[in-house]
Amino acid sequence: MSAYFLSGSHFKIKSLKKIWGITLFYSISIYLLLVIFHVIPINPKDALKSFLPVLTGNYWYVSAYIGMYILVPYMNIVIEHLEKKEYQKFLLLLFIMFSLLPYLKNITVVTNNNSVINLVYIYFVGGYLRKYSSDFTKENQKYYILIFLGSLILMLSSIVVLDLIRPKSWFAFLTTSSPLEAIAGVSLFLISKNTSISYNEIINKIAASTFAVYLIHCQAIFLPILWDKIVHAQQWQTIPYMPVYELLVACIIYCTATLIDFTRLYILHLW
């Protein structure tokens, strides 16, 4: 959870430029390759989205993250001045607004969870975990594991139950507004935070390219081509071994995109 670390840091224009720069690189490169190899025709709308990915929301997460990052200095002031009980009430209010109200019919406090507003909510959660980190020690690790497993079981159970009751809503508790997802995410972070892992150069290098993996396979114009024409996702949805196929596809995409980013880093002498 990057919010945990950002809440204790200062705004850096260099970090903003780095995120914006790598986003531009992959957004434009992928578009140009698709045009050069005649996968797609030249289209002004697609070109605009590809050359201005942050402003046009070509990558919703990047646009939302940059919007949130700009607000970091002001959110840190709020975190610094909130007393513990006030902070807890504030988080409870955010949880109700962003994780509970979206499930009530005709409640439209939150219209789109894939936005900067949702990341601001997550940021304040991370800020609380950092500010009061002494409350979340390794001694409570077993509780975090139980909470995470319980949330995961409930999410998986919701798929089966909702598929029987309302088939078109089977994914209701798998969305970014899901209270189960919020609880599972926080508990998983606490498990990771309290787990000691020795430094490994290879793992660190692979992890450093994870953002690039997202940028490569989620490029808005390339995304439907990837799933419809390369992976052929729809035709595999009803096969018995679909989960195995999905896992294999995910591994191939991750490894391929990571190798592409390794090549970029090598060519640009960033290693």
- Per-residue pLDDT tens, the chain, 271 aa: give them: 667 777 767 778 888 899 999 999 999 999 999 999 999 999 899 999 999 999 988 898 999 999 999 999 999 999 999 999 999 999 999 999 888 887 776 554 554 556 788 889 999 999 999 999 999 988 899 999 999 999 999 999 998 898 888 877 888 888 877 899 999 999 999 999 888 878 788 888 898 899 999 999 999 899 989 988 888 877 776 677 777 888 899 999 999 999 999 999 988 876 5
pTM given for the model: 0.84
Three-state helix/strand/coil letters over the chain = CHHHHHCCCCCCHHHHHHHHHHHHHHHHHHHHHHHHCCCCCCCHHHHHHHHCHHHHCCCHHHHHHHHHHHCHHHHHHHHHHCCHHHHHHHHHHHHHHHHHHHHCCCCCCCCCCCCHHHHHHHHHHHHHHHHCHHHCCHHHHHHHHHHHHHHHHHHHHHHHHHHHHCHHHCCHHHCCCCHHHHHHHHHHHHHHHCCCCCCCHHHHHHHHCHHHHHHHHCCCCHHHHHHHHHCCHHHHCCCCCHHHHHHHHHHHHHHHHHHHHHHHHHHCCCC
Domain ranges of the chain: 1-135, 136-196, 201-267
pLDDT of residue 233: 75
pLDDT of residue 101: 83
pLDDT of residue 263: 94
